[in-house]
Structure 1
Amino acid sequence: MATIELKDVRKTYGTNIEAIKGVSLDIQDGEMIVLVGPSGCGKSTLLRMVAGLESITGGDVTIAGRRVNNLEPSERDIAMVFQNYALYPHMTVRQNLAYGLKNRNTPKDEIDRRITEAARALEIEQFLERKPRQLSGGQRQRVAMGRAIVRKPAAFLFDEPLSNLDAKLRVQMRVEIRRLQRSLETTSIYVTHDQMEAMTLADRLVVLNAGRIEQVGTPIELYEKPATTFVATFIGSPSMNLIKPTGGPNTNWPSDTATVGIRPEDLVIADTSSAGGFRVKVQVMAVELVGAESYVHGMTEDGGTIVFRVPGRSVIAIGETLELTALPDRFHLFDADGRRLSP
């Protein structure tokens, strides 16, 4: 186990393409950090710089107190799990698990012990003599994780490892990854573009945008107190509604309020007893039934869009006009630069 520190880390391609723009981050021993953001935000580049697969243009990366900027990947005491499994097709599962250990001249009895432990933890004992082509996608991903586990590295680095799996398997595997990481207490950095995956896996989330950190915090901190409109709309599904406060429905908002954010679950259909200083009329455009609840997409009178949540058995017709309200303590206020304001 180890701490990982990034100090003003930068990555520039050519003379002027800056992919990583001064990222600083302290990762604690045994912590699961998830890097999340849209495609092209720099999350995979940052992970590869920690791994040694990308050179560092500026700043420092330290692992367990050791500066690793100029060390080869094999010298950094890390193990990576990729989305494409990277298994040797001509080897059995057992041979795949043993390969890295043999290259490090690990004694045979120690190799056997580690393989047995990892196979038991991942429930792949019955597959040890099979070739990768004889396994399902989920089983191959377990083997890829096992190959990382047997190394007993200082840190695990996960590069979108579940993106090739179907939705059901992704849910199962992210639960498995979180369980294993907690039991092994190994410092981990996990990259994903899937914000649901990020929310369920992370001790802390790091939201990246265009090579910079937008916000760092626990999943609930980022959900309940997004620092910017970018974080507000990226974390949460469906996204937070962003509304321009024209007409002044709440005169207690700070004068520099440029945008009001409201989560879909915080909007309710108004009736004569509804309290609160915010009301908006919407015409229903679509209704998404997702089981126990539905998400209703509507259009406001000024042509904006809004999404709100209702119980799954609610009967709402497309084309219907409804009035929505929300309590003031559920508002998120942002200034003209998209920065959070104190309520």
Structure 2
Amino acid sequence: MGQISFKSVGKTYAGGVTAVSDVTLDVAEGEFIVLVGPSGCGKSTLLRMVAGLEEITDGEIDIAGRVVNRLDPADRDIAMVFQNYALYPHMTVKENMAYGLKNRRTPKAEIEARVAEAARMLELQPYLDRKPRALSGGQRQRVAMGRAIVRQPAAFLFDEPLSNLDAKLRVSMRMEIRKLQRRIGTTSLYVTHDQLEAMTLADRLVVLNGGKVEQIGKPLEVYHRPASTFVASFIGSPAMNLLDARVEGGQVWLGGAAMGPAGRAEGPVTLGIRAEDLRPAPASQGVALKVEHVEELGSGRVVHGHVDGQTLAVSMAPGLSIGDVLHVAAAPEALHLFDTTTGRRIETRTRTAELVQ
């Protein structure tokens, strides 16, 4: 049983500095949860509280049916994979993977079987007699994962395990981690500041900001229906366009153009539009954008310009150059409205109807 429950969990340091505030979350057995957010948002602190490396100031954390607030790390039935691998340099790969089991006085035959199985899954058999210094960064990270796997814990905790790897290796390693987790089925909490990594790995995302949860949901749900301007700007590349607009007569107006219906909202709003949702439109139906910069991405391009004095990014096919003027518009269902004061999402009738369907 590998369920993890957070009940109003908080962490306040001496001096009244709050790192995590009122986090409530139920993680199902076998679920892969990614905690994502900028540096200092509280994601690593939350993971360390699960591991027992940080004291829990408020609330309760339950692992596999036990409240663990006062349990030592060794008694929590978890295994942690760190950013810096934390391998013993004087031990071989095999000895590193077996070390935790030996400390728990696991029978030798069982240790041999568990290490052999983990090495097979991680394709580490040729390296079992090597020392960490003779391995690449990706191989060392697989050894760190193998050391966690042989424990057969109730939950895996990953603290930015790919941060030290180059971009190409990060892509291949995150695929390995996801395939491995699906095969083993162990409940996992994974911390990262990389929103692309979060989107590709998670069953559900927990987006944190300033120690508080901004949104919890499946990756595509969070991407297509951000709960706040923070989530809209953090999840997605390029970030969602966020523009000062106004609602009059049931329409969203930007730069003198009616963009679409706005439901019951009225007055100033923040209008969000993804770059890929903007399309060329007749001058009478869109806003004018003068191209000021072009990002060539190989598979496509993103053009940048200004509308009504505000920056706008648009994903476009080849054929545009700096100085060109184009008119763009978006389908009504691609418009996101946010409260200008709170930054929270405002639902429109169009979006509500879409949900019902």
Q: Does 1:186 align with 2:192?
A: no
Match of 2:343 in 1: 338
Alpha-carbon distance between aligned partners in 2 of 1:67 and 1:331, rounded to the nearest angstrom: 43
For the 8 Å contact 1:256–1:335, the answer to whether it is kept is no
| Residues 65-144 of structure 1 mapped to structure 2, 5 A cutoff | 65-144=65-144
Match of 1:264 in 2: 275
Match of 2:292 in 1: 285
Alpha-carbon distance between aligned partners in 2 of 1:227 and 1:329, rounded to the nearest angstrom: 15
> CA deviation digits over 1:222-268, x for unaligned, max 9?
01111111111111110000111154624732215511110000011
Alpha-carbon distance between aligned partners in 1 of 2:50 and 2:40, rounded to the nearest angstrom: 17
Where 1:244 maps in the other structure, the secondary structure is: strand
Match of 1:296 in 2: 303
For the 8 Å contact 2:33–2:204, the answer to whether it is kept is yes
Match of 2:203 in 1: 203
For the 8 Å contact 1:8–1:22, the answer to whether it is kept is yes
For the 8 Å contact 2:259–2:329, the answer to whether it is kept is no
Alpha-carbon distance between aligned partners in 2 of 1:261 and 1:213, rounded to the nearest angstrom: 21
The aligned length equals 336
For the 8 Å contact 1:257–1:333, the answer to whether it is kept is no
Alpha-carbon distance between aligned partners in 2 of 1:293 and 1:145, rounded to the nearest angstrom: 36
**Amino acid of the residue matched to residue 265 of structure 1?**
E
Match of 1:156 in 2: 156
For the 8 Å contact 1:257–1:341, the answer to whether it is kept is no
Alpha-carbon distance between aligned partners in 1 of 2:126 and 2:297, rounded to the nearest angstrom: 37
Closer/same/farther in 2, CA of residues 234 and 251 from structure 1, 3 Å limit? closer
Match of 1:310 in 2: 316
Answer with 302-311 or 178-187: which moved more: 302-311
**Amino acid of the residue matched to residue 261 of structure 2?**
N
Deviation at 1:326, TM superposition (A): 1.3
Answer with 128-137 or 8-17: which moved more: 8-17
Closer/same/farther in 2, CA of residues 180 and 256 from structure 1, 3 Å limit? farther
Deviation at 1:297, TM superposition (A): 1.5
Deviation at 1:143, TM superposition (A): 0.3
Q: Percent identity?
A: 62
**Amino acid of the residue matched to residue 249 of structure 1?**
A
Structural RMSD (CA): 1.4
Alpha-carbon distance between aligned partners in 1 of 2:224 and 2:346, rounded to the nearest angstrom: 13
Alpha-carbon distance between aligned partners in 2 of 1:296 and 1:142, rounded to the nearest angstrom: 40
Where 1:258 maps in the other structure, the secondary structure is: strand
Deviation at 1:213, TM superposition (A): 0.3
**Amino acid of the residue matched to residue 138 of structure 2?**
G
Structure 1 length-normalised TM: 0.95
**Amino acid of the residue matched to residue 342 of structure 1?**
E
For the 8 Å contact 1:156–1:186, the answer to whether it is kept is yes
Alpha-carbon distance between aligned partners in 1 of 2:148 and 2:10, rounded to the nearest angstrom: 27
**Amino acid of the residue matched to residue 130 of structure 2?**
R
Alpha-carbon distance between aligned partners in 1 of 2:143 and 2:278, rounded to the nearest angstrom: 45
For the 8 Å contact 2:260–2:331, the answer to whether it is kept is no
Alpha-carbon distance between aligned partners in 1 of 2:33 and 2:26, rounded to the nearest angstrom: 10
Closer/same/farther in 2, CA of residues 134 and 270 from structure 1, 3 Å limit? same
Where 1:41 maps in the other structure, the secondary structure is: coil
Alpha-carbon distance between aligned partners in 1 of 2:270 and 2:170, rounded to the nearest angstrom: 35
Where 1:157 maps in the other structure, the secondary structure is: strand
Alpha-carbon distance between aligned partners in 2 of 1:159 and 1:5, rounded to the nearest angstrom: 19
Alpha-carbon distance between aligned partners in 2 of 1:119 and 1:280, rounded to the nearest angstrom: 58
Q: Does 1:326 align with 2:330?
A: yes
For the 8 Å contact 2:20–2:212, the answer to whether it is kept is yes
> 5+ residue gaps in structure 1?
none
Alpha-carbon distance between aligned partners in 1 of 2:161 and 2:290, rounded to the nearest angstrom: 41
Deviation at 1:285, TM superposition (A): 2.0
Q: Extract structure 1 runs of 4+ deviating beyond 3 A.
A: none
